[in-house]
Chain A
């Protein structure tokens, strides 16, 4: 195949390009409520979910600590940039310095978390990262020096972006640009020697180890890198919300990101934003339809609905929405994808080894 040939036109690319065009023109198409609330939220939740999908699809590590790291970045930004009228340290720094230090601290903590957890894989890894996440939640709830139960309010955005309420489109475009950059970076990274090594470790860590690769170091670096992506999502979250409290990173929020990733498809990066869009839109509109069925199902029981959707996906269609899309393509074209070409889906993987 000629390397310089134009990219082949595939349904994936057509839809992806179309989605990007719609996203770019969104402020012309959608109401300001959609831009300011739903789509911006979709973008930063998608970034956090993408960090989880990157780890699980290419590193074989399903992490529940992504929300904790996202929250650490958010809390650090909050402590550094607020000015006097809220809990926390109120250091009153320039927002950009807050971003740099916030992301750096989140990555450092992700590196520590990763170094401790990366000798375990599979559900052990899941359990250890869940422990991190609950501990981070309790930490910010208890330590009143940096947050406390009520959290930090009035977190400023940089001057160029302006307030998230007054200039919804600006923050939307920042989140969109960041999402595209994160997606491109992850797509690039998995093709580099580092990314290929990571996939080798995912498939057979013993063999990679005998080839001389440092298994633990690679996993730790991958975890820290995913922490970097999650931290970006956390910064966008506090800019959008202007407020962060321990409930933003509690067990429910931790599971929400997992739910988003699984609904989108735990094995393809695009699934992160697809799942986030589904989650945000359903969450928003479900509460408006007035119905109830006994006291078990009503419009207030969004968690019950999303739990059931999650259950059905895990049981019947582990590929999530991306998996359904691929199945539909196979059905229409009548051609099966080469099984060798299929990406790795940790939900369908069999018995995981406990340790390296």
Chain B
């Protein structure tokens, strides 16, 4: 289709130009132009990076550590999608449920705490790690049950599968509202982690919890990468992403592989939920936000690609943190526009995402 291809090309060239201009202008703004003078109409919270390198570095760290959590959640989403073409719309609900399971378990161990819940000096490492593992395991099992009961016999009908997971997410969200209430609660970090680290760069004191999130994310990324590249199951999964029918024809039990992928993918949503519940909070509506983050990450990065999920998470984390910190103070609430712009520009340039390939 030469004509359509030509038009598509023109679209893409325009997209690249807009993208280039947007990147150069925002870099200029952040590094040199952003005014710090509070009387200026365009005053920003910190001023330019040249003027205030310390807060610039903190914003970079905030962006990268947020990206870590985005990656943990979205990698599960993309793993399931890449292999099975299942868009798991219940991923956000699984995230929230994982968080609630861990929260209830921690309260069971330590007690209910004060009116604001537990504080971190009441919680030791075990009281955080055990709920983390249990929350992850419960969600991994729930995902597997959902796949076996509802999705397995609808393989290949991707819209129907997406609608099934939507139905399950409606029921889950409603039941969570009934059983865990509508008030925001959070899981307490253990006292060993909830303190500040001296980074010895411009005297930055940075919270350990965010660094821990980043460590976990990097570890998960490495483990997933090793699993997919170096083990037999990983090899089958990669082959299955490219050609399911052929893998199945070679006598490999593809149903078993699907089950494993769903187990791990949902488990990552649960793990993300426990970390996210400690980092931010758990409340009705949080599931929608995390479904959005997962969608944005995989739309940017390309569906089914682990590297794409990492890049997508980084772009989302950096964009949202920088737009919140470097927009003029009177306009910071417009930062959501930048998330949309990120998705829009990537779709204009590469409809399948940065690392996406046609199925």
A: residues with CB less than 8 A from B are 62, 112, 116-117, 119-120, 122-124, 126-128, 130-132, 134-135, 137-139, 142-144, 206, 209-210, 212, 214-216, 250-252, 255, 258-259, 262, 295-296, 300-304, 306-308, 310-311, 314-315, 318, 346-356
**A252, chain B: closest CB distance, angstroms:** 8
Cβ–Cβ < 8 Å partners of A216 in chain B: 4, 7-8
* Among A143, A251, A351, contact of B158 (Cβ-Cβ < 8 Å): A351
Whether B333 lies near A143 (C-beta < 8 A) is: yes
B163 is an interface residue with CB less than 8 A from chain A: yes
Whether A142 lies near B166 (C-beta < 8 A) is: no
Whether A206 lies near B1 (C-beta < 8 A) is: yes
Cβ–Cβ < 8 Å partners of B87 in chain A: 123, 126-127
Whether A214 lies near B7 (C-beta < 8 A) is: yes
CA–CA, A346 and B303, complex, Å = 21
Whether A117 lies near B347 (C-beta < 8 A) is: yes
* Among B159, B177, B348, B358, contact of A62 (Cβ-Cβ < 8 Å): B159
Whether A303 lies near B174 (C-beta < 8 A) is: yes
What are 24 A-B residue pairs whose CB atoms fall within 8 Å in the complex? A131-B343, A132-B340, A135-B339, A135-B340, A139-B340, A142-B333, A142-B335, A143-B333, A209-B4, A214-B7, A216-B4, A251-B288, A258-B163, A295-B179, A296-B175, A303-B173, A307-B171, A307-B174, A310-B163, A310-B166, A311-B150, A314-B167, A346-B159, A351-B85
Cβ–Cβ < 8 Å partners of B168 in chain A: 307, 311
Q: Which residue of A lies closest to B348 (CB)?
A: A116
A303/B288 contact (C-beta < 8 A), A116-B347, A295-B178, A314-B163 known: no
**B313, chain A: closest CB distance, angstroms:** 15
Cβ–Cβ < 8 Å partners of A122 in chain B: 158-159
CA–CA, A348 and B336, complex, Å = 36
**B300, chain A: closest CB distance, angstroms:** 10
Whether A250 lies near B299 (C-beta < 8 A) is: no
* Among A124, A130, A347, contact of B163 (Cβ-Cβ < 8 Å): A347
Whether A134 lies near B288 (C-beta < 8 A) is: yes
Cβ–Cβ < 8 Å partners of A119 in chain B: 8, 347, 351
Whether B159 lies near A300 (C-beta < 8 A) is: no
Whether B170 lies near A347 (C-beta < 8 A) is: no
Q: Which residue of A lies closest to B335 (CB)?
A: A142
Whether B160 lies near A123 (C-beta < 8 A) is: no
Whether B171 lies near A304 (C-beta < 8 A) is: yes
Whether B159 lies near A352 (C-beta < 8 A) is: yes
Which of A112, A212, A258, A304 lies at the interface centre, i.e. has the most chain B CB atoms within 10 A of its CB? Answer: A304
Cβ–Cβ < 8 Å partners of A350 in chain B: 156-157
Cβ–Cβ < 8 Å partners of B296 in chain A: 131
Whether A311 lies near B159 (C-beta < 8 A) is: no
A134/B291 contact (C-beta < 8 A), A122-B158, A307-B171, A349-B157 known: yes
**B96, chain A: closest CB distance, angstroms:** 12
Whether A144 lies near B333 (C-beta < 8 A) is: yes
B164 is an interface residue with CB less than 8 A from chain A: yes
B295 is an interface residue with CB less than 8 A from chain A: yes
Whether B157 lies near A348 (C-beta < 8 A) is: yes
**B35, chain A: closest CB distance, angstroms:** 21
Whether A314 lies near B333 (C-beta < 8 A) is: no
B interface secondary structure, majority:
helix
Cβ–Cβ < 8 Å partners of B333 in chain A: 142-144
Cβ–Cβ < 8 Å partners of B7 in chain A: 214, 216
A123/B158 contact (C-beta < 8 A), A116-B344, A117-B347, A311-B171 known: yes
Cβ–Cβ < 8 Å partners of A306 in chain B: 170
**A26, chain B: closest CB distance, angstroms:** 30
Cβ–Cβ < 8 Å partners of B1 in chain A: 206, 209-210, 356
A143/B160 contact (C-beta < 8 A), A216-B4, A306-B170, A355-B351 known: no
Whether B4 lies near A308 (C-beta < 8 A) is: no
Q: What mask results when residues 333 to 359 of chain B are scored 1 for a CB within 8 Å of chain A, else 0?
A: 111110110011001100110000011
Cβ–Cβ < 8 Å partners of A138 in chain B: 289, 292, 336
Whether B156 lies near A351 (C-beta < 8 A) is: yes
67-102 of chain B: CB within 8 A of chain A: 85, 87, 89
113-159 of chain B: CB within 8 A of chain A: 150, 154, 156-159
CA–CA, A296 and B179, complex, Å = 9
CA–CA, A296 and B352, complex, Å = 41
Whether B178 lies near A300 (C-beta < 8 A) is: yes
**A191, chain B: closest CB distance, angstroms:** 26
Whether A134 lies near B167 (C-beta < 8 A) is: no
A310/B158 contact (C-beta < 8 A), A144-B333, A216-B8, A300-B178 known: no
**B44, chain A: closest CB distance, angstroms:** 18
Q: Which residue of B lies closest to A206 (CB)?
A: B1
Whether B347 lies near A139 (C-beta < 8 A) is: no
**B189, chain A: closest CB distance, angstroms:** 27
Whether B157 lies near A347 (C-beta < 8 A) is: yes
CA–CA, A351 and B333, complex, Å = 40
* Among B157, B173, B177, B299, contact of A127 (Cβ-Cβ < 8 Å): B299
**A64, chain B: closest CB distance, angstroms:** 9
Whether A131 lies near B336 (C-beta < 8 A) is: no
Q: Which residue of A lies closest to B172 (CB)?
A: A307
CA–CA, A51 and B178, complex, Å = 33
Whether A352 lies near B163 (C-beta < 8 A) is: no
Q: Which residue of B lies closest to A141 (CB)?
A: B336
CA–CA, A117 and B358, complex, Å = 16
Pairs of residues from A and B, 9 with the lowest C-beta to C-beta distance, nearest first: A307-B170, A303-B174, A311-B167, A307-B171, A251-B288, A119-B351, A134-B292, A142-B333, A209-B1
* Among B157, B291, B303, B359, contact of A251 (Cβ-Cβ < 8 Å): B291
CA–CA, A252 and B182, complex, Å = 15
B260 is an interface residue with CB less than 8 A from chain A: no
Whether B157 lies near A355 (C-beta < 8 A) is: no
**A139, chain B: closest CB distance, angstroms:** 5
B3 is an interface residue with CB less than 8 A from chain A: yes
B218 is an interface residue with CB less than 8 A from chain A: no
Cβ–Cβ < 8 Å partners of A117 in chain B: 347
Q: What mask results when residues 280 to 291 of chain B are scored 1 for a CB within 8 Å of chain A, else 0?
A: 000001011101
Cβ–Cβ < 8 Å partners of B174 in chain A: 301-304, 307
Cβ–Cβ < 8 Å partners of A139 in chain B: 336-337, 340
CA–CA, A45 and B71, complex, Å = 37
**A254, chain B: closest CB distance, angstroms:** 9
CA–CA, A123 and B285, complex, Å = 23
A143/B334 contact (C-beta < 8 A), A122-B158, A255-B166 known: yes
Whether B156 lies near A347 (C-beta < 8 A) is: no
**A320, chain B: closest CB distance, angstroms:** 11
CA–CA, A206 and B3, complex, Å = 12
